[in-house]
Amino acid sequence: MSAPAPSPLAIVDAEPLPRQDEVLTDAALAFVAELHRNFTARRDELLTRRKDRRAEIARTSTLDFRPETAEIRAADWKVAPAPAALNDRRVEITGPTDRKMTINALNSGAKVWLADFEDASAPTWENVVLGQLNLTDAYERRIDFTDPKSGKSYALKDAAELATVVMRPRGWHLEERHLQFDGRPVPGALVDFGLYFFHNAQRLIDLGKGPYFYLPKTESYLEARLWNDIFVFAQDYVGIPQGTVRATVLIETITAAYEMEEILYELRDHAAGLNAGRWDYLFSIVKNFRDGGEKFVLPDRNAVTMTAPFMRAYTELLVRTCHKRGAHAIGGMAAFIPSRRDAEVNKVAFEKVKADKDREAGDGFDGSWVAHPDLVPIAMASFDAVLGDKPNQKDRLREDVSVAPGDLIAIDSLDAKPTYQGLVSAVQVGIRYIEAWLRGLGAVAIFNLMEDAATAEISRSQIWQWINAGVVFENGETATAELARKVAAQELAAIRAEIGEEAFAAGKWQQAHDLLLKVSLDTDYADFLTLPAYEQLVG
Q: Which residues are catalytic?
A: 168, 452
Kindly give, in sequence order, each residue whose CB lies less than 8 Å from that of residue 1, ignoring residues fewer than 6 positions away: 15
What's the rounded Cα separation, in Å, for the pair 261 and 199? 32
Q: Across 87-133, where does the E strand assignment appear?
A: 91-96, 112-116
Q: Which long-range contacts (CB under 8 A, 24 or more apart) does 95-98 make?
A: 95/120, 95/371, 95/443, 96/120, 96/121, 96/127, 96/131, 96/442, 96/443, 97/121, 97/127, 97/131, 97/132, 97/134, 97/135, 98/127, 98/130, 98/131, 98/134
If DSSP codes are grouped into helix, strand and coil, which group holds residue 330? strand
Determine contact, residues 168/216, Cβ cutoff 8 Å.
Answer: yes
In whole angstroms, how far apart are CA 263 and each of 193, 219, 222? Answer: 19, 9, 8
Nearest to 94 by CA among 168, 173, 190, 197: 168
How many CB atoms sit inside 10 A of residue 375's CB? 28
For Cα atoms 87, 92, 388, give the angle at the middle one, nearest 5 degrees.
55
Quote the CA–CA distance of 121 and 135 in Å, as a whole number. 14
Give every CB contact of residue 484 below 8 A, 6+ residues apart in sequence.
Answer: 423, 427, 463, 467, 517, 520, 521
3-state secondary structure of 335: coil
d(CA 215, CA 317) in angstroms, rounded, equals 19
Instruction: Residue 76: count other Cβ atoms within 10 Å of its Cβ.
Output: 6
Neighbours of 239 (CB within 10 A): 8
